Amino acid sequence: MGEAPPVDELDRALVELADVVTLAPWRLGPAAYDRVRGVGLTDDADVFDVVATASSCTTFSRIATVLAGFAR
């Protein structure tokens, strides 16, 4: 199994935003959001959902990794 490549500009922009949220959240600023807004994600609630989902996945993954060390 592998990752499917983004199929359109919106998908690419969402992946780029999720990467910044996950790997370098200190880089989030107007430019990070302008890209997704420029390809059609104009509703702030939708932008929030993308950021919240990426943040949650990252958090849960890190917690699972840490807790795996407690397995007996």
Other beta carbons less than 10 A from residue 9's beta carbon: 13
Helical spans, DSSP H, in 24-43: 30-38
Q: Token match 């990070």: residue? A: 32
pTM value?
0.76
Helix (H, G, I), strand (E, B) or coil at 69: coil
**Spatial distance between the Cα atoms of 25 and 45, rounded to a whole number of angstroms:** 19
pLDDT 10s per residue in the chain (72 long)? 567 777 899 989 999 999 999 999 999 999 889 999 999 998 999 999 999 999 998 888 888 888 888 876
